[in-house]
Amino acid sequence: MDDTAPPRPPDFDDPFRDRLEDLFRWRRDVRRFRPDPVDEALIDELIGLAALAPSVGNSQPWRFVTVAEPGRRDRVIADFEARNKDALSDYDGEQAKLYASLKLAGLKESPAHLAVFADTETTAGHGLGQKTMPGMLEYSVVGAVTTLWLAARARGLGMGWVSILDPDNIAEILEVETSWKLIAYLCLGYPQEQHLDPELDRAGWQKRADVSSFVVRR
């Protein structure tokens, strides 16, 4: 009797691949949330799945901060508003008008805020794979964020990634270790709408390009 037989690798089939493509196509950066709460256990489940992402040297540099305290949420929202006003001043004329009309975050409505940091001083992984490409630690955290995004969408949850923030200010508001660098500030919640196309395409800010123009053969 072999009690330690390894689990059998899965054999993914066409129906699964089709649904996976649906998931890629319908994932969106969501800024319009319904007020319905999101279970804390569901967020923890998503974090557990995110940690299955690859990481350089198996360094697992991802650090997750759930942000529930109203005072901290308010300070994050205030930071976004200040940074967004500042960004607006970079645009002129019609583009400025369009920028001002865009909804770029759902921080107020989103029932769940999740900040994701990279521990830039982790010794896990012993530096393997980072020497010539030091960005790999941060990239590993982005892989976890991408994984979390897909897992959320597969559960009917929308996610938005807010980058119009001062990362140092956010780290201060959340009182995290000084070695932690903000990679992603995420809003999670049930979406008001579902779309196949990006909101910034629909709003006329930036069209999607044909990917074949981005491929080079060597």
Residues numbered 67-106 forming contacts with a copy of itself, rule: CB under 8 A: 67-69, 72, 83, 86-87, 90-91, 95, 99, 104
Amino acid at 180: W
- Write out the binding residues for a copy of itself, residues 150-189 only, by CB under 8 A: 150-151, 153-156, 161, 163-167, 174-176, 182-184
Position 27 contacts a copy of itself (CB under 8 A): yes
Q: Is 60 in the site for a copy of itself (CB under 8 A)?
A: yes
Q: Which is nearer to a copy of itself, 108 or 128 (CB)?
A: 128
Angle of helix 136-153 versus helix 40-50 axis, rounded to 10: 130
Between residue 104 and residue 123, which ones bind a copy of itself under the rule CB under 8 A?
Answer: 104
CB of 86 to a copy of itself, least distance (A): 7
Concatenated DSSP letters of 146-205: HHHHHHHHTTT-EEEEE--S-HHHHHHHTT--TTEEEEEEEEEE-BS---SS-HHHHTTS
Strands 158-162 vs 180-189: parallel, antiparallel or unpaired: antiparallel
Scan for tokens 């049930």, then name that residue.
190
Least distance to a copy of itself from the beta carbon of 127, Å?
7
- Rounded least distance, CB 47 to a copy of itself, Å: 6
Considering only 81, 120, 146, 192, the residue that binds a copy of itself (CB under 8 A) is: 146
What DSSP string runs through 75-119? HHHHHHHHHHHHHHTT--HHHHHHHHH-----TTT-SEEEEEEEE
- Please name the amino acid found at residue 19: R
Q: Closest CB to a copy of itself among 18 and 108?
A: 18
- Out of 65, 107, 171, 187, point to the residue binding a copy of itself (CB under 8 A): 65
Per rule CB under 8 A, is residue 21 in the interface with a copy of itself?
yes
